[in-house]
Structure 1
Amino acid sequence: MKYPVAIWMLAIGAFAIGMTEFVIMGLLPNIARDFDVTVSQAGQLITGYALGVAIGGPILVMLTIKWNRKYLLLVLMGIFILGNIAASLSPTYGFMMTSRIITSLAHGSFFGIGSILAASMVKPAYKASAMALMFMGLSLSNILGVPFGTLIGQNFGWPMTFIIISIIGAMALIGIIFFVPMTKKQEATSVKTELKILKEKRLWLTLAVTLFGFSSVFAYFTYISSVLIEVSHIQENLISYLLIIFGVGVTLGNIVGGKLADWNLNKALKIIFIMFILYFILLYFIQMNGILMVAGVFFFGLIGFSMSPSLQYKSTLISQEAPTLASTLNQSAFNLGNALGAFLGGVVVTNLPIASLSLIAPILTLIGLIFLVISIRVEKKEGTLV
């Protein structure tokens, strides 16, 4: 078998983690009503989660750098399951926020450790595709998990959604116990070795490109349910179906983005960023029409998430000596982008018409484009152009 069963178990874990991160966007109006808070305040549950990933992930990696990777994965999935159970039982907004932050601690480390572990279980020729297979769980969570979780939450109450996520997490935990091999002691791995990557200027520029370039996705997508209801005038019970269409766009975006990255990494990112900025302007008019928004959310997912493979690949090219920390830091950058986007989106929703989100969100990608240009110039100067 080209890909061991263990990698599929990691993909199930990735599916559960992706579902818990993204499903809340389709449930924001419901959660806001139950906790008697505004949609903007409910949106900060996404910000809290993203900050937990961004800050907690690297700290957890450094604290557990000497741990056996299989044991660490088991602990991370245990934290994830308990966090989601706590979320389902949340009596108050504050308790829900705390539960989300606890759950988020598993996110960055799971993807950082899991991707390295997946690559170690196959022949060298299949390492990249093994990592992609694990991350496919994240993509599938957008197509299947998020719409399904939204549908469950709207019909049976949002707590049931988090209970189901806990069950999927338990399935991944059992799969890891039985199928993921016990790894050998990591060779020459130390906090000092991993921290050396922090001196690399190119790393910080790449993380800045990731943070700002991707943050515009969540500035808009965090409040997609409200946009579809208030601006596009789509019925609430149809939102889960549009999220399926969005998920298909996300998956195709990952495929297209990967092929573009193989073609020319930096040119691919430039093209995607410019296209995304222009598409946001077009989206301002599309979002006024419910029928057009069916195609609108598809292309939003396709263009927005086509940058993910390129950004992920760009970070790995400069992190050979510190793969664990660099992988986790890249997840931190993505999630800081999520937090920044959700926060600024909340400010816009609170103070301006929600339709204006599509005109303000692309400013973040424009900043990412500026950092990309600076990064390319630095790489040219140092002779390390990728």
Structure 2
Amino acid sequence: MIGGFSIANVLGVPVGTQIGQMAGWQTAFIVTSLVGIIPLALMMVVMPKSNTISVSSMKQQFALFKNKRIRLAFFIPVLGVGSVFIVYTYITPLLENVIGIPQQWISTVLLAYGAFTILSNWLGAKVAQGNSRVKLKVIFIIQAMIMMALALTLSLPWMALLSLMLVACFSFALSTAVQLYLIDLADESSAGSKDFASTLMPVASNLGIAVGSVLGSLVVDNVGLEYLPWAAVVFAIGAFAVTSRCHQLDQEHMGLTPLASAKAS
């Protein structure tokens, strides 16, 4: 799923931008709607025709949110993905009006950005191995530093483009680790809600996209495009803080488990 999203960035965003520039933004939305018919048709062919039976009740599924660690972990992708999309949502006007990239090169830059997001999937697999919370904290520190570098190099086109490509490289590095983390937490607290837990990552990511886009619009309207990376820095630091707290709670939980087991025995 994450890989598909990255490929969509590689192809869909540049093509949509090119269509918008050539035929108007309304046409880009019409083409997007028509393209949506293709996955609809594929789903009708591939998806099972028989009804599936749920193995757990809705009450069991939503019991997941009784776990404080899960509620907190949900906000890691909200802030981490939100940080990227504060900038990415407005990347075209940022490229044109602040960095100074000619309009005819915008689609090429977006294509390169999308290609680098594929590398972030590979990086995400590495982050998910071992103690992922420690690695996630490093990722968010790096993300904050890259956003800061972007903010400081907007007047230097080549340096700004390099910073943007680095943003792309780390854009989805959190996804696999957080997905597995949420499923592991669900397995600990409410095994019947593991399927539901697997949906939390895309939900949180989409919420992050929405929140990041809204915050970006407020920044653009009130202080200007050039301040978008600074807002992204704040979100990246927030993601680091939430991840650090999750890591702390994990350590406390592991420290209490032996004691609880001894009492039980």
State the TM-score, normalizing by the size of structure 2: 0.87
What CA distance in whole angstroms lies between the structure 1 residues aligned with 2:199 and 2:30?
27
What CA distance in whole angstroms lies between the structure 2 residues aligned with 1:362 and 1:269?
15
2:156 to 266, 274, 289: 289
Residue of structure 2 equivalent to 1:361: 232
Q: Which amino acid aligns with 2:242?
A: F
What CA distance in whole angstroms lies between the structure 1 residues aligned with 2:33 and 2:201?
26
Quote how far apart the aligned CAs of 1:239 are: 1.4
Is residue 2:71 matched to residue 1:200? no
1:223 to 90, 100, 104: 90
Residue of structure 2 equivalent to 1:270: 137
Quote how far apart the aligned CAs of 1:359 are: 2.1
What CA distance in whole angstroms lies between the structure 2 residues aligned with 1:262 and 1:384?
22
Q: Which amino acid aligns with 1:353?
A: G
Mapping of residues 102-181 of structure 1, within 5 Å = 134-181=1-48
Please state whether the residue corresponding to 1:153 is helix, strand or coil. helix
What CA distance in whole angstroms lies between the structure 1 residues aligned with 2:193 and 2:73?
15
Please state whether the residue corresponding to 1:291 is helix, strand or coil. helix
What CA distance in whole angstroms lies between the structure 2 residues aligned with 1:152 and 1:250?
22
**Residue by residue, what CA displacement relative to the aligned partner does 1:85-116 show, whole Å, maximum 9, x if unpaired?**
xxxxxxxxxxxxxxxxxxxxxxxxxxxxxxxx
8 Å CA contact 2:64, 2:186 repeated in 1:
yes
Residue of structure 2 equivalent to 1:212: 79
Please state whether the residue corresponding to 2:49 is helix, strand or coil. coil
Q: Decide which moves more: 148-157 or 322-331.
A: 322-331
1:335 to 193, 206, 225: 206
Q: Which runs of 5+ in 2 are unaligned?
A: 257-265
What CA distance in whole angstroms lies between the structure 1 residues aligned with 2:153 and 2:248?
36
What CA distance in whole angstroms lies between the structure 1 residues aligned with 2:148 and 2:47?
46
Quote how far apart the aligned CAs of 1:143 are: 0.3
Is residue 2:111 matched to residue 1:239? no
Quote how far apart the aligned CAs of 1:183 are: 4.9
What CA distance in whole angstroms lies between the structure 1 residues aligned with 2:159 and 2:96?
14
Mapping of residues 55-66 of structure 1, within 5 Å = none
Q: Which amino acid aligns with 2:231?
A: I
**Residue by residue, what CA displacement relative to the aligned partner does 1:311-331 show, whole Å, maximum 9, x if unpaired?**
222222223421343233332
Aligned residues: 252
- The structure whose RCO (Cα within 8 Å, separation 6+) is larger is 2
What CA distance in whole angstroms lies between the structure 2 residues aligned with 1:354 and 1:154?
20
Q: Which amino acid aligns with 1:188?
A: V
**Residue by residue, what CA displacement relative to the aligned partner does 1:217-262 show, whole Å, maximum 9, x if unpaired?**
1112222112111211112232111111111111101111112212
Quote how far apart the aligned CAs of 1:343 are: 2.0
State the TM-score, normalizing by the size of structure 1: 0.61
What CA distance in whole angstroms lies between the structure 2 residues aligned with 1:192 and 1:360?
38
Mapping of residues 297-376 of structure 1, within 5 Å = 297-320=164-187, 321-376=192-247
Q: Which amino acid aligns with 1:222?
A: T
Is residue 2:62 matched to residue 1:191? no
Sequence identity (%):
29
8 Å CA contact 2:7, 2:114 repeated in 1:
yes
What CA distance in whole angstroms lies between the structure 1 residues aligned with 2:224 and 2:51?
56
Please state whether the residue corresponding to 1:317 is helix, strand or coil. helix
8 Å CA contact 2:134, 2:247 repeated in 1:
no
Quote how far apart the aligned CAs of 1:374 are: 1.1
Is residue 2:244 matched to residue 1:377? no
Look at both structures and tell me which one has the larger radius of gyration over its CA atoms: 2
Q: Which amino acid aligns with 1:374?
A: R
